[in-house]
Amino acid sequence: MNERALEGLDDRQREAASALRGPVCVLAGAGTGKTRVIIHRIAHGVDTGAYTPNRVMAVTFTTKAAGEMRGRLRALGIGGVAARTFHAAALSQLNFFWPTVAGDSAPAIVDNKVRLLAHAADGIGMSLDTATLRDVATQIEWRKITMRSIDAYAVARPGGVGRLSLQRVVDLQRAYEKLKDERRQLDFEDVLLACAGMLEAEPRVAAAVREQYRHFTVDEYQDVSPLQQHLLQLWLGERRDICVVGDASQTIYSFAGADASHLLEFGTRYPDARVVRLETSYRSEAPILDVANELMRDRPGALRLHPVRDAATDDVPRLSAYDDDVAEAHGVAVAVAAQIADGIDPQAIAVLYRSHAQSAELLRALADVQVPTTVLGGRRFFDMPEVRQAVLALRGASVAPLNGGFVDTVRDVLRSLGLTDDPPPAGGALRDAWEARRALLRLAEEAPDEMSLRVFTDDLMARAKDQHEPTLRTVTLATLHAAKGLEWDHVHLVGMSEGLLPISYATTFEQVDEERRLAYVGITRAARTLSLSWSRGNQGRMNRTPSRFLQEIGNRTLRAVDGSTSAGASTARRRSATTSRPPAQRR
């Protein structure tokens, strides 16, 4: 029983999962099984009696990742572990201790920072557009997560925001804080600040938290901000039972305060820390890893990834050049359609890009070749009206006697709501609704034979709470930031040109280095095939050059293809001129 959680781990994973005491640092490259190590390390600690489940806190950065942790721990028979985001953990502690400390309930949380900023601006006679308000909100967030006062912010960021002078930005921030206090509210960053302040000011609260949580694991540690690191230290106190897991090469949130030095200097803070390097990739085949390793060669903290399996083909990743963005989108769409025609499941394919603005042309091109798509970061699955309607209808059907088998009942309910045997054309709202209902039916078809409709709907509600969304059989479109932590068999990374990747406003060495890490994240999402592409311009401006990252990678690991000469490029440009409506409006 004590060895159960270690079964199936490789030597390095086993070493990390067996290190249950003292400071531990796991440097885990892309696809090396870091989440598996985290889960099995906690399970091994519980199995051996080293951990009591309710005294373990596993901290991560997204609600979805925390929900996945809880689900995977439950699958191993481990319940009671607090798997939460930093903000969820801090808010829970505030809500629990605030009545004792302050004598009343905790303040409410601001639901819309930009709207509150607009009210604050009105109060001091400033009329600002939404874009400017968003930029100021970003500055407020940066100030707080780097633990600066407004005066210290003015010294660190003296340039102002857009057309707003520094003094006006400072005035607006002071008005925002004043209005927030008057309304007795906390914003997202205040939750961490208030929790840290409470732990510093109230020794009995700090003692209670440290007594409750004795073993900490922090995932994605390279993304920890100064404020989060400060709060983590307060949670720990004098204890040293902490395990951090991360990859410096995947630090892509420096603009939001993430500081990889916390990961890279962990061994300096804890000279006796056990450091384990996970460099065997179970995701990507050798040719893809060659590209990734070349891109990050000699970068600080970079891991050298090694494949665990041979490549299915001898082809190196493909690099295509196109005349313009329309031709690039069409070329990628044709390639994706060909993959699907060859029998590849659409859900195994992703098209990744640097910014949301690049998605419009891709959506049009994919709709033109009848490829169903889902944009990652759009509406959450369980927030879709069609899904909410279906779950309520299934819940209602669960209280009546089944007229047939469980799966048949689910199918009948979904058909009554609009599910058909044949899908509508790709590229519209009707297809999105069809894919959502079909995903619910697929969950039912994959359920155990003994499943009841009541238990099935209970499971759907639990999934909604944990954001454990079913997989849609569609091609995924996503920004590189949104794609982090995910993987697909086949990845198309578009826009590999100067001005797009690296983005035009990345001018300093540090900013360009962050763009390189973004490219690395995109490349390492691919398991079997990788296609990179770039175009020479957009709307008649043919002045782009290939990304410097392509030059750094070199042609030894990439096979160049001139996409501008491919059949259909000129046709794609003519089509674009006559089908400029969004795909959702075309039938």
- Residue 125 maps to which CATH number? 1.10.10
Q: Note down the domain range covering 164.
A: 108-183
Distance linking the first and last C-alpha atoms of the chain = 58
Q: Which amino acid is at 96?
A: F
Same-domain pairing of 517 and 499:
yes
Q: Which amino acid is at 349?
A: I
Is-contact 291 311, C-beta < 8 A? no
Report if residue 129 sits inside a domain. Answer: yes
Report if residue 369 sits inside a domain. Answer: yes
Residue 47 parent element (H or E)? helix 34-47
Final residue of a domain: which of 278, 306, 336?
A: 278
Q: In the beta sheet, which residues pair with residue 57? A: 82, 216
Same-domain pairing of 371 and 314:
yes
Q: In the beta sheet, which residues pair with residue 109? A: 186
Distance CA 546, CA 195 (A): 47
Same-domain pairing of 201 and 219:
yes
What Å distances lie between residue 418 and 393, 415, 446, 583, CA to CA? 12, 5, 21, 21
Is-contact 300 248, C-beta < 8 A? yes
Distance CA 144, CA 435 (A): 41
Report if residue 354 sits inside a domain. Answer: yes
Distance CA 62, CA 483 (A): 13
Q: What is the pLDDT of residue 346?
A: 93
Same-domain pairing of 366 and 495:
yes
* DSSP-H helix ranges across 369-472: 385-397, 406-416, 429-445, 453-466
- Phi, psi (rounded to 5 degrees) for 351: -115, 120
Q: What is the pLDDT of residue 585?
A: 30
Q: What is the pLDDT of residue 28?
A: 95
Distance CA 137, CA 130 (A): 10
Q: Which amino acid is at 70?
A: R
Q: Which two tokens stand for residue 190?
A: 């205040």
Which letter does DSSP use for residue 524 in this model?
Answer: T
Same-domain pairing of 451 and 547:
no
Q: What is the pLDDT of residue 562?
A: 64
Final residue of a domain: which of 135, 161, 183?
A: 183
Report if residue 101 sits inside a domain. Answer: no
Distance CA 28, CA 278 (A): 5
| 3-class DSSP assignment, residue 51 | coil
Report if residue 530 sits inside a domain. Answer: yes
Final residue of a domain: which of 183, 207, 227?
A: 183
What Å distances lie between residue 73 and 14, 41, 76, CA to CA? 17, 10, 5
Distance CA 191, CA 231 (A): 11
Q: Is the pTM of this model over 0.85?
A: no
Per-residue pLDDT of the chain (587 residues; tens, 9 = 90+): 567 888 889 999 999 999 999 899 999 999 999 999 999 999 999 999 999 999 999 999 888 888 888 888 988 889 899 999 999 999 999 999 999 888 888 899 998 999 999 999 999 999 888 888 989 999 999 999 999 999 999 999 888 888 889 999 999 999 999 999 999 999 999 999 999 999 999 999 999 999 999 999 999 999 999 999 999 999 999 999 999 999 999 999 888 788 889 999 999 999 999 999 999 999 999 999 999 999 999 888 899 999 986 666 667 899 999 988 889 999 999 999 999 999 999 999 999 999 888 888 898 899 889 888 888 876 677 878 888 888 888 888 887 776 678 888 888 889 998 888 888 877 667 777 888 888 888 888 888 877 888 888 888 887 787 667 777 788 999 999 999 989 999 999 999 999 899 988 888 898 999 999 999 999 999 999 999 999 987 765 668 899 999 988 877 788 776 665 443 443 433 333 333 322 333 22
| Binding annotation for ATP | 28-35
Report if residue 77 sits inside a domain. Answer: yes
Radius of gyration, CA atoms only, the chain: 25
Q: What is the pLDDT of residue 379?
A: 67
* DSSP-H helix ranges across 283-382: 286-295, 325-341, 359-368
Distance CA 245, CA 355 (A): 28
- Residue 574 maps to which CATH number? 3.40.50.300
Same-domain pairing of 58 and 120:
no
Residues constituting the chain: 587
User: Is residue 231 exposed (0-12), middle (13-18) or buried (19+ Cβ within 10 Å)?
Assistant: buried
Distance CA 65, CA 302 (A): 24
> Domains in the chain: how many in total?
4
Cα 144 versus chain centre, distance: 22
Same-domain pairing of 488 and 576:
yes
Is-contact 480 532, C-beta < 8 A? no
Same-domain pairing of 561 and 447:
no
| Binding annotation | 28-35
Same-domain pairing of 420 and 372:
no
Q: Which two tokens stand for residue 235?
A: 């949670």
Distance CA 442, CA 137 (A): 41
User: Is residue 334 exposed (0-12), middle (13-18) or buried (19+ Cβ within 10 Å)?
Assistant: buried
Report if residue 99 sits inside a domain. Answer: no
Same-domain pairing of 164 and 309:
no
Same-domain pairing of 262 and 139:
no
Report if residue 431 sits inside a domain. Answer: yes
Which letter does DSSP use for residue 164 in this model?
Answer: B
Is-contact 477 357, C-beta < 8 A? no
What Å distances lie between residue 134 and 129, 139, 255, 377, CA to CA? 9, 9, 15, 18
Distance CA 140, CA 111 (A): 15
Same-domain pairing of 460 and 412:
yes
> Position of tokens 């990345």?
506
Distance CA 33, CA 314 (A): 25
Q: What is the pLDDT of residue 255?
A: 81
For residue 582, whether the previous peptide bond is cis, meaning omega lies within 30 degrees of 0, is no
